[in-house]
Structure 1
């Protein structure tokens, strides 16, 4: 039997956290006199009151959270956060349409970065900060934040952590899951504050520095400017964004090890080496291509290539150039990057390099097994043998991911959109990237989609952010059967 009362208590705690995270937006609204403080106050009060009511109504409930409750809590948390997170958009009139508000909010919390806003710079500053804040909250995951901030809930934190991280499990920094979550968030907050200072010193306004730091570290890609990062033409700002996007796409455990001077352990990670080498080789190849088909100088060709590649691989979604304007060959390369994702244990979305690496290594070993059928040739990652169950899980994930991409593209095509736009919209939503190809290229937005298409793509964003199984398992009959 599923303990729904215990689940509702956790939802109450999440909504109280949501209300707290809206408060800085009220302060910014008052400081800049942007006129949206009242909608933000109302949204904060509603979220706080509903959250407190749920939390204290079920305060005495047994908090023995099992795996099934863990999956439900993760899935419902994103639903609750979306419903209450869209209130500032509706109450301020910034996004008066419900389906648009749902799309923008889920795009924020899932750090996808796709937007329906056609004039971002006209949005009041308080709401604009909330838009960036949704990505920052979603960066390392709402549940990880909850486990770190609300140990008083008394829930089995490991079940929530496992449910949200449904892929290959990242190494722990500490044997206690709450301590691990706290250290990850301290690192996350520290890097965000550092980036705010750097952006500001390089010439961004304080408001732009705060917003872009929140969305850079979250690998989200929401910007305060209509032209995204292309608005900031200073190469030093763009190179800074590149470095921190790449850093945010790295397993945070490795960042922690690097900061403590354990560089050998960082480079010994097979996934990190694959991530670093793949990005480096792709940048060199694409930069040569961009330089050959445009009239820009070499440094800009290199910078534009580096920026777009790192942005897409880490699923950040910032843009400084229209990569679909080069030629069809380069466009295909950029489209393929929508299916990569950076490292497991990072803030990026997508498939992740660890899955690609496992697939490539096992496929290579399969040729050896064909030649030597009697030999036992195990697959090893980071020097450790990978058991068959993990390999099966990864291969199943890749197959299901491909099936959802194909079926999603068919649905979008039936809904009336051309093939390139359907492919691009589904790939970028499922991979939590932002820009794609077709009518959703780097210079476009998602405003033209029908309400059905926006809600469908919103579901794909959520499905991709929670790495498929956390959501799909809820649709299986055996999940709901009593033990």
Structure 2
């Protein structure tokens, strides 16, 4: 294990987090809020820890997959702990476990909250909550790769460990160039959404918080009713951009480079839009009687389907009151999630496709034992290691999900609340059903359950394995 390079990168994480906290600090100055001192103290603390860690770069260049996974997992834990400090110091969320839950929910773009009165928070705290979504959406390690001239051949190991999906591909010969391309697209779409929201006369502060939450597919709202009080135009804009941020960013790269055939060839994206279309159509028909008009029912259905499948978690209505068919569809969408290579969470459409194709292949082999059949995606054979890792991911996902539901059951809440609470956290969605529905929150859970759900949020965002490796003894051995 190359500890020195891990410490070096974590040091940069702390320095970058200090830089990110300048936004809420400036916000506190603009609105003349005394809570801003909490960010100033945290910035000083981050720099005091980070600068010594990056003072001397490691001379050891060996940086393999193991180091990449451990670095990503530790970086996210450190990022979350330091990000929770302003909540505690300012008194906005005085309990450390609650503050950690809220911060992890922000960085992992989950959007699950323990707050009962979000509108009472200072502006600087509100914008920090939303900004954590934007930071975590594309990934802080990807951000580092786009800025720092790191050498030694370990870039791809960091990107593989942090980027969502069964496999990660480079968009350019150099990983640093790939990271820059991804963040350029990310920033550009965020700015476009900001423009459209401002056209709809949304206040600037609300616009920034909403855009940060949409881009990161996070879902922290700054109003008690989430997005319900905004105009239909603004809800439609948010719907469109939630769905766009759930698309594999490779598509945008292909479109920008005029490789339209490659963009429209991606099976995952086609199925992603097909799933959304079918879900919206069924739910619209199912809830029509609740709204009285097809256009309004369609708009509400599209918003919630887009919000759930992209794991954003915004809400315009209490879908907890919808008929069982619609509620069931939303639960299924929680697990499917968005595309790989997007800012969305969930299992990912690509993994669902690979699992379905694996089942079809096995059925074919039962009928034709001597046949040789490869699983293909986008016309290309999928490597065996990708299929194997997808199968293992699904097995571990089910085990962690089942274990989490069992552990939080000791709080003695109903099964639907517990089941959807775990589904909403491990899939990085936010709201669930019953007590954790759009009009509820996670504050009633015990500290132990909140820590379990915090683990689920991190495991879901980091695709499980980087976090689990921290608990394997061989990970920490020096070879």
TM-score normalized by structure 1?
0.96
2:367 aligned residue (364, 367, 371): 371
Where 1:229 maps in the other structure, the secondary structure is coil
1:35 is displaced (CA, Å) by: 2.8
1:152 is displaced (CA, Å) by: 5.0
Runs of 4 or more consecutive aligned structure 1 residues displaced over 6 Å after TM superposition: none
Where 2:413 maps in the other structure, the secondary structure is coil
Equivalent-residue separation in structure 2 for 1:131 and 1:151 (angstroms): 30
Equivalent-residue separation in structure 1 for 2:151 and 2:379 (angstroms): 38
Distance 1:63 1:92, change over 3 A: farther
1:471 maps to 467
1:480 is displaced (CA, Å) by: 3.4
Correspondence 1:78-477 to 2 at 5 A? 78-152=76-150, 156-165=154-163, 167-232=165-230, 234-292=231-289, 294-477=290-473
Equivalent-residue separation in structure 2 for 1:325 and 1:173 (angstroms): 44
1:28 maps to 27
- Which stretch shifts more, 180-189 or 471-480? 471-480
Where 1:283 maps in the other structure, the secondary structure is helix
1:72 is displaced (CA, Å) by: 1.3
1:446 is displaced (CA, Å) by: 0.9
1:166 touches 1:470 (CA, 8 Å); kept in 2? no
1:338 touches 1:436 (CA, 8 Å); kept in 2? no
1:127-166 alpha-carbon deviations (Å, 9 max, x no partner): 1111111111100111111111222576721121122237
1:60 is displaced (CA, Å) by: 5.0
1:435-467 alpha-carbon deviations (Å, 9 max, x no partner): 111211111111111111111100110011111
Distance 1:244 1:166, change over 3 A: closer
Equivalent-residue separation in structure 1 for 2:27 and 2:401 (angstroms): 40
- Which stretch shifts more, 381-390 or 165-174? 165-174
Equivalent-residue separation in structure 2 for 1:19 and 1:81 (angstroms): 10
Equivalent-residue separation in structure 2 for 1:280 and 1:374 (angstroms): 39
1:66 is displaced (CA, Å) by: 2.2
Equivalent-residue separation in structure 1 for 2:164 and 2:478 (angstroms): 23
Equivalent-residue separation in structure 1 for 2:133 and 2:73 (angstroms): 17
Where 1:423 maps in the other structure, the secondary structure is helix
1:250 touches 1:346 (CA, 8 Å); kept in 2? yes
TM-score normalized by structure 2?
0.96
Structure 1 alignment gaps of length 5 or more? none
| Equivalent residues, number | 479
Is 1:49 matched with 2:48?
yes
Equivalent-residue separation in structure 1 for 2:469 and 2:75 (angstroms): 16
RMSD: 1.6
2:118 touches 2:224 (CA, 8 Å); kept in 1? yes
1:354 is displaced (CA, Å) by: 0.3
Where 1:467 maps in the other structure, the secondary structure is coil
Structure 2 alignment gaps of length 5 or more? none
Equivalent-residue separation in structure 1 for 2:165 and 2:192 (angstroms): 30
Distance 1:29 1:286, change over 3 A: same
1:211 is displaced (CA, Å) by: 0.8
1:295 is displaced (CA, Å) by: 4.0
1:187 is displaced (CA, Å) by: 1.1
1:207 is displaced (CA, Å) by: 0.4
1:242-290 alpha-carbon deviations (Å, 9 max, x no partner): 1111110011111122234333222210100110111111110111001
Equivalent-residue separation in structure 2 for 1:63 and 1:370 (angstroms): 48
1:62 maps to 60
1:35 touches 1:124 (CA, 8 Å); kept in 2? no
